[in-house]
Amino acid sequence: MNSSKLITSSLLAVLCLFGASFATAGVNGPGPQSIKHHSKLNLEGLLANNSDGEVASKEATSDESADSHDNHGDASDSDAGNVKLLVAVVTPTAGNDTSGTVYFAKSADGLKVWGTIKGLSPGNHGFHVHQYGDITAADGTSAGGHFNPHHQPHAGPDAKHRHVGDLGNITANKDGVAEFSFIDTKLSIQGANSILGRGLIVHQGADDLTSQPTGAAGPRVGMAVIGVANPDDLKK
Ligand SMILES: [Cu+2]
Ligand SMILES: [Zn+2]
């Protein structure tokens, strides 16, 4: 028993030494390659944690306590079928001031979309769901093109054939604020048309609803990732 403890602590000491020397090598070694190596290690650590029963049971516990506060019957958010509300927090792309919040909620006719975006020039601004929920690029281009799972042409929101992500324009008043609320029949939270985890982009110019493949709406001034919202947000 004592000897096994000794072996364990020796192993730990060796691992610590190894870790320390690795970290030092990372600092002194060739920059980008070391960083890449580090982030790969970190990713593996995260993946290991995800399959760890302890972490999973912690999440289950917090879900249960959340459920005890309301009677929605949403046993879990892990299945998109149980998600009823999405939120996208719009942040400005480099050199712009566009920001706001957009909600998407399940309704009988499709998804209800509403929100407020400020920091715009007065007039129409192209407003689309883009393919990727990736806003790492300062100009928003990492969000890719319009979300188009059925390989359709670009068009307006009322067109029969359009990109799923084609939501047309939002209109800013003289103060540069756009307030809007509409129902879209193509957007969904689950299935092929699911916008969960996709990007939301506000453009500098108007979407002409016809030019291919983007409606000629110009650069991206605001960007967001569409995520799962706390349904209690609606009660505030
Ligand atoms: Cu767009
Ligand atoms: Zn489009």
Instruction: Indicate which residue of 162, 163, 184, 207 is catalytic.
Output: 163
Ligand 2: centre distance to CA 35 (Å): 37
CATH of segment(s) 83-235: 2.60.40.200
Whole-number Å distance between alpha carbons of 211 and 197:
26
38 catalytic? Reply is no
| 124 closest CA partner among 213, 221, 208, 223 | 208
Instruction: Indicate which residue of 125, 154, 162, 198 is catalytic.
Output: 154
CA distances 51 to 29, 78, 197, Å, are: 32, 15, 22
E-state strands within the chain:
85-92, 99-107, 110-118, 123-130, 166-172, 178-184, 199-203, 220-228
128 catalytic? Reply is yes
What is the chain's length? 236
* Ligand nearest to the Cα of 128, by number: 1
Query: What is the value of pTM for the model shown?
Result: 0.69
Whole-number Å distance between alpha carbons of 134 and 35:
21
Ligand 1: centre distance to CA 231 (Å): 27
Instruction: For the chain, give percent helix, strand, coil, nearest 5.
Output: 30, 30, 40
Instruction: Indicate which residue of 125, 130, 162, 198 is catalytic.
Output: 130
Instruction: Indicate which residue of 125, 128, 162, 198 is catalytic.
Output: 128
Q: Which pLDDT tens digits describe the chain residue by residue (236 residues)?
A: 444 443 444 433 333 334 343 333 333 334 444 444 444 444 444 444 443 333 333 333 344 444 444 444 444 555 667 899 999 999 999 999 999 999 999 999 999 999 999 999 999 999 999 999 999 999 999 999 999 999 999 999 999 999 999 999 999 999 999 999 999 999 999 999 999 999 999 999 999 999 999 999 999 999 999 999 998 877 76
CB 140 within 8 A of CB 224: no
* Ligand nearest to the Cα of 211, by number: 2
Ligand 1: centre distance to CA 229 (Å): 22
Here the tokens at position 197 are 């985890």
* Ligand nearest to the Cα of 213, by number: 2
Residue 183: DSSP 8-state: E
Ligand 2: centre distance to CA 82 (Å): 28
